[in-house]
Amino acid sequence: MITLSGIIGSGKSSLTDILSAELGTKAYYEPVQDNPVLPIFYKGNEIAAQKRAAGDQEATNPYAYLLQTFFLNRRFSMIKAAMREDNNILDRSIYEDEIFMKINTEMGNATQVEYDIYKSLLNNMMEELPFASHKKSPDLMITIKVSYETMIKRIEKRGRDYELVEKDPSLVDYYQRLLACYDEWMSDYDASPLLVIDGDQYDFVDSLPDRIEVFDTIENKLHELGNLNDAQLKQFHAQHVDLLAQAK
C-alpha cells in the first residue's frame, strides 16, 4: 500500500492516477466534489478574518472543526478499506490530517478546545487502525514537495474559486503556514518509509521524461523495500525505455 501526501495543488491526485495505472493497483481518492463543507469552510475563513480585522479577536470559523471531522472520518474509512487488501494507492491519508486542524487553531479559525477534542478522536482512530486491517502502516509514503509559486500555479490551473488567493487574500497566510507545517511534518514522519518527490523539478503530468523519472524513483524504492522483485523492476525499466523511444 502506497499513500501520497503534499500540500494543496501539489499533484497528489494526478500522481495517484498515473501511478496506479503504471503499477496496476487500485486508487483511492480524497472526496472533493461531494464535500458539502469545503466551500463554506473557505467562506468561513474569510468571514472570520474580516471580523478579527474589525476588532473581534475571538472570531473563529464555525466550519473548521466540522470540515476536519468530515475529512478525518472519510480518511479513516478510506485507509481501512485500502489496508484490507494489497496493492492500493491513496491520494491522501490520515497521517497528515492533523496539519490542517493545527493550522486552523493557530490562525484562530478553531478553538483550542476543538483542537483537543479533534486530537483525542484522531488518536483513538489511530489506535484502532491496526485492528481494522492486516497492515499496521503503509508500505511507502510519497510526499510531493512544491514551492509556494508552483502550488499557486496549479491551484489557478484547476480553478476552484474558493482556493484562489485573488478571491480571498487571507489564503496567502494559510498556504504559507501549510508549507511550513508540511516541512515540519516530513522531518517528523516515522510511520513508514518516506520518499520525497520534487514537484517543482518534475512535471509528471505533462512531461513524459519527467514522469518516467518519477516512476523509476518510486519503483527503485519499492524494490529496495522488497515490494518489487528483480524481474518486475527490470520489466518496468524496459517499458520506460520503449515509451521514451516511441515518443521521439
Domains of the chain: 2-201 (3.40.50.300)
Residues 180 and 7 sit within 8 Å (Cβ to Cβ): no
Average pLDDT of 193-222?
96
Average pLDDT of 211-217?
97
Of the candidates 63, 7, 9, the residue with the CA atom closest to the CA atom of residue 35: 63
pTM: 0.88
Which active-site residues does the annotation give? Answer: 91
Alpha helices in 84-169 (DSSP H): 98-106, 112-128, 148-158
Which helix (H) or strand (E) element contains residue 145? strand 140-145
DSSP letters along 108-126, please? Answer: TSS-HHHHHHHHHHHHHHH
Of the candidates 218, 4, 13, the residue with the CA atom closest to the CA atom of residue 96: 4
The model's pLDDT over 218-244, given as tens digits with 9 standing for 90+, comes to: 999 999 999 999 999 999 999 999 999
pLDDT above 80 for 215: yes
pLDDT value for 109: 86
Cα–Cα dist 79/94, whole Å: 7
When the pLDDT of each residue in the chain is averaged and rounded to a whole number, the result is: 91
pLDDT above 80 for 203: yes
pLDDT above 70 for 133: no
The residue to which cell 513524459 is assigned:
208
The model's pLDDT over 140-198, given as tens digits with 9 standing for 90+, comes to: 999 999 999 999 998 988 888 878 888 888 789 889 999 999 999 999 999 999 999 99
Q: At what angle do helices 64-83 and 98-106 cross, to 10 degrees?
A: 170
Cα–Cα dist 27/88, whole Å: 6
